[in-house]
Structure 1
Amino acid sequence: MSIAWKQVSPTRWQRPLTGIEDFLLATGNAPVELYNGRQQYNIFSKLKVEINVPDVESALRHAWKQLRYEQPAIAATVDGERKVYETPDEAGLQQWLSSTFIVSDVSDADSLLSTPIRQATLYYLPKISELILRAHHYVIDGMGTVMFWHCLMEALVSPNKDLTFGNEYVRLSAPLDEALGYTGPPTAKQTQDASAMLTTYAQSLPSIGLVSAIGKAPATDCHNTEHTFSRETTGSIIAACKEKQISVTSAIQAAWVLMLVKHADPSSNRSRYTTANEYNLRPYLPSPHNAPTSAVGVYYAPIPFTIELPAPYMEIAQALNSNYQSTLKDNPETVNLTGHYCHLVAAMAKSPEFKAAPVSTDGLVSSLGVIEKYLRREYGGDAVKVKDFMLGLDVVLGMSAFFMYTFYDQLRLVYSFNDGYESPEKVRHYLEDVERILCEELLGLRSS
């Protein structure tokens, strides 16, 4: 079966879902019937911006249109087990613009979370000068979202007035399998190795988890709680990580694990921390799949990690660091395995056994690194200033999420959760504890 985009009518292009897209679709659709169309793990990202261009609303609408022209996958939808793109005529293009570019007078971006979306949607909130992207996770991933904002800001300050739709399909981002260079079905060894990786993960569950009402109460409101470190603390933590030869990601996740130990649900398995670490695959893909021009795609893999508990902080940090450093780097065999592995993950997520199993309550961990690596603070001189960035997920039914990244020289932590399962007060305390543990373990600063 062909994995590439294929033309099936004069205006329609389609291809099979990749394994990671299939997994995200199955996960996302799980709560739809229960919660009025709301989906698990939709991307929710916002920029605080200062825009100094004539007619800001019209300029943003054109930039959104231009981004679709340059990266048409932003308008892709799903039909069954296929991803679909329709080349629009003028009427179709205007209908898409009117339904996916929304100017709202709300003063709180979180108020948008309760409304289901049909396609990736861009909101402009002029009262608070924020831009919001809401998109299905099977359309775009976390690093892709950072790149998306860069591409949108570029389009805003460098508008292309000659957008003639009809041939934009040539710029549809390639599916992960194609980007990895797959030309046929997996070999017997690849199937065996991918199955062994998934089996190891499944046999290590359940993991230590937080107190949660998942399975005991209905979902209510989604939240993305942010915790920002001072520049001084951020600089000290980064310096300490360099001295101890561990990545900042490993250091923060190790603090996360100790926070889990402190606040663990007594009924959870407190003897083990097992998770699926999120690996951005873009650095391992050839051009153009590794570039911002392919921002609108899903190029990551959740690869298992486990460690027995209790364990001291540095042991956990060093184990995580070793895992992050060795799993894919200089390891092309595992990189090439990720696409096949993700197909098995999708099959597991759709199995009756998985659906019946208790939901993990430890939070899915994801690092975006230094945001300025892809998203600048200014565009077009003084035309656009990016004042702040946030990325989170809609959590409706299932595991919460924990993001970490640095922007404006400050570490940012974001915990995405649902207040039907966890209380906002406790979540704020969790994030404060992560910073406290980092300061104690890396800087020797003991709180009174």
Structure 2
Amino acid sequence: MTWSESRPGHYQRRIGENEKFIKAIGDRAHASGREHWSITSQASFKVTEPLQGDDLLTKLSRAWKNLRFEHPSIASTAEEETLNYVVPDTNALDRWANETFFVHDENISAGDLIASFKPSPYMTAHYIPKSSQLILHTAHWRTDGFGALQLLNAFFEAFCAATSGRDPSSLPWGEEVGRLVPSVEEVLNLPITVTPEIKATADRYISTLAHVTGAVGVSYLGDKSTLPSGTRSARLTLSQPTTRAIFEACKARDINVLSAVHASVAAITFAGAPADSKHKHYTSTMRFSLRPYLPEPYNTPRFASGLYTGGYMFRIPASQSWTENTRRYNDEYHLGVTREFLLARRQYALDVQSLLRKNPPVDGPPPSEVDISSVDDAELLVCPVHKSGEEDGGSVEILDVSIGVETLTRQMYCFVWTFRDQMKFNLVYNEAFYDAIVPLELLAKLKEVLQTELHI
């Protein structure tokens, strides 16, 4: 799966099994001009003089080109079986930047912009001058939540470098191909030939997909024939004192914060369910970043533009208390990423691909639970302040960050992270299935559950 030069300046590798199954899920929505699970990372920022100026847009565009040099996989493209990358000349680099870096009308909001996103063969960057926001958008096969925020950070690093006179056209293009990312299967050196042990482990994780059937879900608008529309989101930020109190309460109970949040997400799903469904079990995803388990240098931000994540489904009964659920999640997160889990990544992905090709009918109503995804401490991924390399050259202060995915189903996804000592939540949903008030009420309920159960 290593990158090789198929003809001068053209590089190619076989698409990884995990990239392929994620791509297949996203591509299913292309006919409707959407892409399920495409990733959006964004930052609100403030630029100080002399970085701020009339040529700010030029500097941002130059930074985007510099980012491609450092992370060329943002400009790779995918076919059915291969990933491709072409080393650009000056004209090709300008064309790529014109097709992927956008400055938007002063009156558009980030929410409206994200709801309008269409599939793109590349990662794209979007700058909204009025709100001073930068948004990166990409297909999920290219990266994961951790990587998307690392790329956001890399953009601002490139911005500061660009202001120091780093001209993209003078860079040694062609050298960047050494930074094209490998697949997770290659990084982990996973065997092509599956062993009985690996097959049994993959089967065990595949079997957890059955937990989705018959699970509790939130009440939604429309029926099975209702078509999706744009992805929207609701945000909740907890104060620093409240965030600190939550962390201290979890520490005193010997549980991790993510377990408490996960149990609270289960609670709001039960709360938002129809009365005749509240007895059903709750199913959600146990998600794990594989990045800490990769060998160097693949566990570093240099490989932000890589898909290095994994998970499986996990169910809890309606009869358990919040405390019991928290303990179960805590045990499951503590178990974490095992060697067996890693070794089964290729076979698991192959099995998922097989299921997608069969496209089995789903009995009962479509899933509509609130699922969860965490990137933990976002300051480990996005530095709050970036300084120019020149003396008194100014700085970029990152005021806020966010992460989310496009969803075309009735399922909602609650993203959680901390930044600047505040716990933050982004609940994404499809506007065809929920009124805007519903996710806001769910987030308010989540805060209430956390404070009540932790006695804050």
Q: What's the TM-score once normalised by structure 2's chain length?
A: 0.91
Match of 2:374 in 1: 367
Mark the CA change 1:437 to 1:313 in structure 2 (over 3 Å): closer, same or farther: same
Residue 421 of structure 2 is aligned with which of 409, 425, 442?
A: 409
Match of 1:6 in 2: 4
Match of 1:379 in 2: 386
Distance 2:227 2:252 in 1: 46
Distance 2:161 2:21 in 1: 36
Shift of 1:407: 0.9
Match of 2:402 in 1: 390
Shift of 1:57: 1.2
Distance 1:13 1:356 in 2: 44
Superposed CA RMSD: 2.0
Aligned length: 438
Whether 1:135 and 2:141 are equivalent positions in the alignment is no
The answer to whether the Cα contact below 8 Å between 1:31 and 1:38 also exists between their aligned partners in 2 is yes
Match of 1:111 in 2: 112
The answer to whether the Cα contact below 8 Å between 2:285 and 2:312 also exists between their aligned partners in 1 is yes
Q: Deviations over 1:218-268 (max 9, x none)?
A: 222320211111111111001001111111111001011111112113465
Q: What pairs with 1:152-231 in structure 2 (closer than 5 Å)?
A: 152-159=155-162, 160-161=166-167, 162-202=170-210, 205-212=213-220, 213=222, 215-231=224-240
The answer to whether the Cα contact below 8 Å between 1:49 and 1:129 also exists between their aligned partners in 2 is yes
Q: Which amino acid counterpart does residue 121 of structure 1 have in structure 2?
A: T
Q: Which amino acid counterpart does residue 323 of structure 1 have in structure 2?
A: E
Whether 1:60 and 2:60 are equivalent positions in the alignment is yes
Match of 1:334 in 2: 341
Distance 1:65 1:150 in 2: 15
The answer to whether the Cα contact below 8 Å between 1:74 and 1:139 also exists between their aligned partners in 2 is yes
Mark the CA change 1:78 to 1:268 in structure 2 (over 3 Å): closer, same or farther: farther
Shift of 1:354: 5.7
Mark the CA change 1:78 to 1:266 in structure 2 (over 3 Å): closer, same or farther: farther
Distance 1:410 1:354 in 2: 42
Shift of 1:399: 2.9
Distance 2:276 2:87 in 1: 52
Once the two structures are overlaid, the 10-residue window that deviates more, 110-119 or 41-50, is 110-119
Distance 2:300 2:215 in 1: 36
Distance 2:241 2:95 in 1: 48
Q: Which amino acid counterpart does residue 81 of structure 1 have in structure 2?
A: E
Whether 1:343 and 2:355 are equivalent positions in the alignment is no
Residue 29 of structure 1 is aligned with which of 27, 30, 40?
A: 27
Mark the CA change 1:214 to 1:64 in structure 2 (over 3 Å): closer, same or farther: farther
Mark the CA change 1:22 to 1:360 in structure 2 (over 3 Å): closer, same or farther: farther
Distance 1:359 1:63 in 2: 43
Residue 126 of structure 1 is aligned with which of 126, 129, 144?
A: 129
Match of 1:47 in 2: 43
Shift of 1:125: 1.2
Match of 1:352 in 2: 359
The answer to whether the Cα contact below 8 Å between 1:121 and 1:134 also exists between their aligned partners in 2 is yes
Match of 1:308 in 2: 317
Unaligned runs of 5+ in 1: none
The answer to whether the Cα contact below 8 Å between 2:263 and 2:326 also exists between their aligned partners in 1 is yes
Once the two structures are overlaid, the 10-residue window that deviates more, 386-395 or 13-22, is 13-22
Distance 2:362 2:354 in 1: 11
The answer to whether the Cα contact below 8 Å between 1:26 and 1:350 also exists between their aligned partners in 2 is no
Once the two structures are overlaid, the 10-residue window that deviates more, 414-423 or 359-368, is 359-368
Distance 1:164 1:215 in 2: 53
Match of 1:285 in 2: 294
Shift of 1:151: 1.2
Q: Secondary structure at the match of 2:398?
A: strand
Match of 1:72 in 2: 72
Mark the CA change 1:13 to 1:268 in structure 2 (over 3 Å): closer, same or farther: farther
Once the two structures are overlaid, the 10-residue window that deviates more, 89-98 or 429-438, is 89-98
Q: What's the TM-score once normalised by structure 1's chain length?
A: 0.92
Q: Which amino acid counterpart does residue 214 of structure 2 have in structure 1?
A: P
Shift of 1:293: 0.7
The answer to whether the Cα contact below 8 Å between 1:305 and 1:323 also exists between their aligned partners in 2 is no
Distance 2:242 2:289 in 1: 27
Q: Which amino acid counterpart does residue 197 of structure 2 have in structure 1?
A: K
Q: Which amino acid counterpart does residue 116 of structure 1 have in structure 2?
A: K
Shift of 1:111: 2.3
Q: Which amino acid counterpart does residue 194 of structure 2 have in structure 1?
A: P
Q: Which amino acid counterpart does residue 382 of structure 2 have in structure 1?
A: L
Match of 2:151 in 1: 148
Q: Deviations over 1:70-110 (max 9, x none)?
A: 11110111112322222222221111011101111233112
Distance 1:268 1:163 in 2: 60
Q: Secondary structure at the match of 1:350?
A: helix
Whether 1:318 and 2:327 are equivalent positions in the alignment is yes
Q: Secondary structure at the match of 2:287?
A: strand
Mark the CA change 1:435 to 1:41 in structure 2 (over 3 Å): closer, same or farther: same
Once the two structures are overlaid, the 10-residue window that deviates more, 160-169 or 138-147, is 160-169
The answer to whether the Cα contact below 8 Å between 2:19 and 2:183 also exists between their aligned partners in 1 is no
Distance 2:186 2:395 in 1: 38
Q: Deviations over 1:170-193 (max 9, x none)?
A: 110110101112243322220121
Shift of 1:356: 7.8
Match of 1:423 in 2: 435
Unaligned runs of 5+ in 2: 389-393
Once the two structures are overlaid, the 10-residue window that deviates more, 225-234 or 183-192, is 183-192
Distance 1:433 1:170 in 2: 48
Distance 1:388 1:366 in 2: 18
Q: What pairs with 1:77-96 in structure 2 (closer than 5 Å)?
A: 77-96=77-96
Distance 2:361 2:61 in 1: 42
Match of 1:98 in 2: 98
Which stretches of structure 1, 4 residues or longer, exceed 6 Å deviation after superposition?
none
